[in-house]
Amino acid sequence: MTESPITKPQAYLVDEDFIRRVAALVIRRLRSMPATGETRPTGETRPAVEAERIVCEETILNRPVGTTLLIRRDALVTPLAKDTAKDRRITIVRQST
């Protein structure tokens, strides 16, 4: 029985220059990412209006870091939601009339 070349492990030669380029690329990408696994907003131009009358911590945690949350004029914001928004750099704005 002959061994198929596809099942044979392939050895790739990697030189020091290649490793340095890959490491530099990874470091550059990591530095551009927010800390602690947070995500950045993806081109959001207008804030979404939160339809709920009560804005709680869960509402804030479901928003991308650094965004604006537009809430109803009559919405109630829990103290924990306010603290979480501050920690996540989320601006809470009440909807105008």
Q: What is the pLDDT of residues 31-90, one digit of tens each?
A: 666 655 445 555 555 555 667 788 989 899 988 899 999 998 889 999 999 999 999 999
Which amino acid is residue 28, in one-letter code?
R
The pLDDT value recorded for residue 95 is: 87
The Cα–Cα gap between 86 and 8 comes to 55
pTM comes to: 0.50
Task: State how far Cα 21 lies from the chain centre.
Answer: 26
The Cα–Cα gap between 84 and 96 comes to 23
Q: 92 to each of 14, 29, 75, how far by Cα in Å?
A: 50, 30, 11
- Number of domains within the chain: 1
Residue 45 falls within a domain, yes or no?
yes
The pLDDT value recorded for residue 92 is: 93
The pLDDT value recorded for residue 44 is: 52
The pLDDT value recorded for residue 96 is: 81
Residue 29 falls within a domain, yes or no?
yes
The whole domain housing 48 covers 16-94
Residue 9 falls within a domain, yes or no?
no
